Amino acid sequence: MTLRLGDLAPDFRQQSTIGELNFHQWKGDSWAVLFSHPADYTPVCTTELGATAKLQQEFARRNVKVLALSVDPVEAHHGWIADINDTQQTQVNFPIVADADRKVSEAYDLIHPNASSTHTVRSLFIIDPAHKVRLIITYPASTGRNFAEILRVIDSLQLTDHHSVATPANWQQGEEVVIVPSLQDEALIREKFPQGYRAVRPYLRLTPQPV
């Protein structure tokens, strides 16, 4: 199965470090970040889980729940968490799914045979309150994830879901945004964007970020 943007994120029931976890039920109407790891006690993933734990307040402020996944058993996860807490000076406070039967890995297309026939690739999914997949990033084993970018994308998705805008390259919170080309009614534009806009080109109209 190939998972694409806009698809319904597959539901699953699997053991985790907080007990049996039913994904859609656990997630509720929150946003979610689901990210996979090839195995426990891997060095790059150890730093990633530590970084995620340190950002829990940032995720919570955005109504985002975080869920990690590895094919190793729950007992190994608990030992790994102890290592993460010690080496990264943090406290892992989100669940890690134990996907020993590869059920979740198969549903989310995490086994790439040309990379490994047994270990999952390091994919990350942002899933919205309607359980729709909004972002997929797959990283090579040698490169750690950029969590500032993940938060930036969440900010963009949440902003653009509520306003008729898109975010330009390298956009950060508080910077100008793009009025979507489909919005052409000038009266409606003035209503939606009372601060006005500047037209670099007819199709490229920049306006202060809506609040």
Q: Has 45 been annotated as catalytic?
A: yes
Which whole-number Å values give the CA distances from 34 to 107, 110, 201, 206, in the listed order? 13, 12, 38, 33
Closest by CA position to 95, among listed 69, 64, 124: 69
CB 6 within 8 A of CB 87: no
- What letter would DSSP give residue 67? E
Out of 9, 45, 151, 159, pick the active-site residue: 45
Phi then psi for 113, rounded to 5 degrees? -55, -30
Which whole-number Å values give the CA distances from 16 to 26, 136, 184, in the listed order? 12, 22, 49
Closest by CA position to 141, among listed 124, 113, 111, 121: 121
What is the distance between the alpha carbons of residues 26 and 46, in angstroms, rounded to a whole number? 24
What is the distance between the alpha carbons of residues 194 and 3, in angstroms, rounded to a whole number? 39
Active site (catalytic) residues:
45
